[in-house]
Amino acid sequence: MRRLIIQAVNHSKAGHLGGPLSAADVLTVLYFKILRIDPERPHWPDRDRFILSKGHSAIGLYSVLALRGFFPVDELMTFDQINSRLQGHPDMTKLPGIDMSSGSLGQGLSPGVGMALGAKLLDKDFHTWVMLGDGEIQEGQIWEAALVAEHYNLDNLTAILDYNGLQQYGWTASLANGKRQPRISIDNPRQRWEVWGWHVLEMDGHNVGNILETCRKARTMKGKPTLIISHSIKGKGVSFMENDYNWHSKVLTEAEFAQAMADLARPVEGE
Ligand SMILES: Cc1ncc(C[n+]2csc(CCOP(=O)(O)OP(=O)(O)O)c2C)c(N)n1
């Protein structure tokens, strides 16, 4: 999947890399083991819903959808081209399998709350999952949605925070490398979300067994919504991209492309 991400972004000469690579393992476990979905029936009313609120990681979502059989893997090479169904940010009106358009950060949890509330009102048992970025949760709309989810006791809603510590131009925490950073802190998300009335779980976002176990547990949590803090590494899998915000979104040179593909030819840890 990571190789497909690199190939598609390299081919289009545009798109994000760090964020999709940090989310790749979680997306894989969700789409292959957790979500109740059917690629043959992308609009099945009883399917689980998934919203990639950090929509700039679209190529990660497209890759897993293709591998799961929603559309041909070859189509990934149309990524970000005019008239492609695979735009730089997910478009639910174009591509079956996308439950919500996204890209303007901060807006994905609100429709997730609506879907989860809708399921309760209609007495349906599907679960709604929303993936958030740690830079993204500085957005006030996320805070409002979190409070509404708690108000309605939406235990059929799970948010997964891709906690890679980086956003577009640097660290998300107020204190990084011993230096105070001039940006709003999202340190200690556990404390904040617990105060907002959510269950909070944590997992290693690159350990498939741990992701599987934690997501299964989230589905069974009762009484209130659940946040999973997924500890991850931005750029995971490509040596020179890991923990470097410069690779948030950048075009690869030929040599960098070759190095990235070589890095990703290594066996996956723990496989
Ligand atoms: C409302 C809004 N402001 C700014 C952007 C530009 N932008 C795209 S990605 C990004 C950083 C996101 O960081 P984070 O949520 O931590 O995502 P990740 O590190 O997982 O890529 C920004 C500022 C945007 N897409 N939407």
- 8 contacts 76 by C-beta, under 8 angstroms: yes
For ligand 1, what atom is nearest to the CA of residue 234? 19
CA dihedral sign, ordered 67, 215, 232, 139: positive
Ligand 1, from 52, 56, 242: best to mutate by most atoms within 8 Å of Cβ?
Answer: 56
Q: Which CATH superfamily is domain 2-263 in?
A: Thiamin diphosphate (ThDP)-binding fold, Pyr/PP domains (3.40.50.970)
pLDDT value at position 271?
46
Per-residue pLDDT of the chain in tens (271 residues, 90 and over written 9): 999 999 999 999 999 999 999 999 999 999 999 999 999 999 999 999 999 999 999 999 999 999 999 999 999 999 999 999 999 999 999 999 999 999 999 999 999 999 999 999 999 999 999 999 999 999 999 999 999 999 999 999 999 999 998 888 777 665 555 555 555 557 789 999 999 999 999 999 999 999 999 999 999 999 999 999 999 999 999 999 999 999 999 999 999 999 999 999 976 654 4
pLDDT value at position 41?
98
pLDDT value at position 168?
85
Going by alpha carbons, the residue nearest to atom 8 of ligand 1 is 56
How many residues does this entry show for the chain? 271
CB distance 135 to ligand 1 below 6 Å: yes
pLDDT value at position 176?
56
- 247 contacts 18 by C-beta, under 8 angstroms: yes
Distance in Å, CA 46 to ligand 1 centroid: 31
Domain coordinates in residue numbering, the chain: 2-263
Please tell me the distance from the alpha carbon of residue 115 to that of residue 101, in angstroms, as a whole number: 14
Going by alpha carbons, the residue nearest to atom 7 of ligand 1 is 168
CB distance 167 to ligand 1 below 6 Å: yes
β-bridge mates for residue 229, sequence order: 161, 202
pLDDT value at position 174?
58
CB distance 168 to ligand 1 below 6 Å: yes
Q: Distances from the Cα of 136 to the Cαs of 1, 37, 65, 98, in angstroms?
A: 24, 27, 23, 20
CA neighbours within 13 Å on the CB side: how many for 126? 24
Tokens 């946040």 sit at which residue? 227
Task: Tell me how far the alpha carbon of residue 9 is from its chain's centroid.
Answer: 17
